[in-house]
């Protein structure tokens, strides 16, 4: 089963249509990684495939696709805007585990408590949010410290049916990515006086995601701690490294 392959294929095709897309470097050894888990009799291959792109206004567009049989499928897809735009992050965390599906789709704000920012980037999404929310019941508690990073249009759900993922979740994913591309098209460079706050907000978000990455345990089990830390800081959440290299 590869539940999320259609999401990935659609996203890449759509980005290619809408943007002047080029590839983003994936460090050696991280394009594709395989481990075998389970017993000898019931061995299960777990493959993690990485995708990286960039485009004008978008510093890094990256996906991690984990395929480990019916009980383990993950697509984590994030767009990190360039530091001279006030764009939110596009984030999708689509996770299938033995207990069911965990779905998170959002445009994560740089400035959660700024009313003008909300009006610009959250309000236009609320109709779409309400539509999809009907089919994607609220997933329940999540870490309070994560709150500042979510928008009011955060789709967060726990589901049982594969069918709902392939239909309702896929529709929501498409609508959110299309809406995001609309923001990208319209956005103008931020005024110079806003740039320090943007950089600061990007770093806060990035540090939180890298530090709290809920996939850390899973990656460590499959691929070991060294590979995992390098994957997290060198690819999945790489802004600090890139700033240190002066590559941003
Ligand atoms: N999450 C990541 C990356 C992953 C990944 C890079 C490449 O940030 C997968 C893989 N997320 C992943 C896995 C789990 C979760 C859970 C494997 C399950 C962990 C487990 O149960 O063992 C949304 N994802 C979660 C949780 C939340 C999110 C709130 C539950 C965590 C918990 O209960 O502690 N991640 C969070 C979020 C976005 C996101 C809102 C962006 C929209 O990417």
* Distance from the alpha carbon of residue 194 to the mean position of ligand 1, in angstroms: 30
* Distance from the alpha carbon of residue 77 to the mean position of ligand 1, in angstroms: 11
Kindly report the protein residue whose alpha carbon is nearest to atom 19 of ligand 1. 214
Nearest to 50 by CA among 70, 23, 72, 69: 23
For the cut 90, the answer to whether the pLDDT of residue 116 exceeds it is yes
- Whether the model pTM is above 0.85: yes
Tokens standing for residue 104: 């998170």
Probe residue for ligand 1, chosen from 214, 231, 233, 236 as the CB with the greatest number of ligand atoms within 8 Å: 214
* Distance from the alpha carbon of residue 146 to the mean position of ligand 1, in angstroms: 11
- Per-residue model confidence as pLDDT tens digits over 190-242: 999 999 999 999 999 999 999 999 999 999 999 999 999 999 999 999 999 99
Residue 74 in contact with ligand 1 by CB distance below 6 A: yes
Instruction: Please identify, by atom number, the ligand 1 atom nearest to the C-alpha of residue 105.
Output: 42
For the cut 80, the answer to whether the pLDDT of residue 1 exceeds it is no
Residue 218 in contact with ligand 1 by CB distance below 6 A: yes
* Distance from the alpha carbon of residue 216 to the mean position of ligand 1, in angstroms: 9
Q: Where does 105-169 have alpha helices with state H?
A: 115-121, 126-133, 162-164
Q: Give 177-181 contacts, CB < 8 A, sequence gap 24+.
A: 177/11, 177/14, 177/90, 178/14, 179/107, 179/124, 179/125, 179/128, 180/79, 180/88, 180/90, 180/107, 181/14, 181/15, 181/18, 181/19
**pLDDT score for 25:** 97
- Per-residue model confidence as pLDDT tens digits over 178-187: 999 999 999 9
* Distance from the alpha carbon of residue 102 to the mean position of ligand 1, in angstroms: 8
């Amino acid at each position: 089963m590869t539940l999320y392959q259609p999401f990935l294929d659609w996203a890449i095709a759509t980005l290619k249509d809408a943007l002047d897309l080029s590839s983003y470097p994936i460090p050696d050894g991280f394009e594709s990684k395989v481990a075998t888990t389970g017993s000898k009799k019931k061995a299960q291959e777990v493959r993690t495939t990485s995708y990286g792109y960039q485009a004008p206004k978008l510093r890094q567009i990256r996906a991690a696709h984990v395929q480990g049989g019916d009980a383990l499928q993950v697509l984590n897809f994030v767009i990190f805007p360039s530091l001279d735009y006030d764009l939110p992050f596009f984030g999708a965390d689509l996770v299938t585990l033995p207990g069911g599906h965990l779905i998170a789709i959002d445009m994560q704000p740089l400035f959660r408590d700024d009313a003008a920012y909300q009006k610009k980037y959250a309000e236009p999404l609320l109709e779409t949010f309400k539509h999809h929310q009907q089919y994607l019941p609220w997933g329940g508690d999540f870490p309070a410290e994560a709150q500042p990073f979510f928008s009011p249009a955060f789709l967060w759900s726990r589901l049982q049916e594969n069918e709902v993922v392939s239909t309702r979740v896929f529709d929501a994913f498409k609508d959110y990515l299309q809406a995001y591309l609309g923001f990208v098209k319209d956005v103008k460079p931020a005024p110079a006086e806003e740039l320090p706050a943007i950089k600061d907000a990007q770093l806060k978000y990035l540090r939180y995601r890298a530090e709290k990455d809920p996939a850390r345990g899973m990656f460590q089990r499959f691929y070991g701690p060294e590979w995992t830390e390098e994957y997290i800081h060198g690819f999945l959440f790489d802004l600090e490294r890139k700033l240190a290299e002066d590559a941003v």
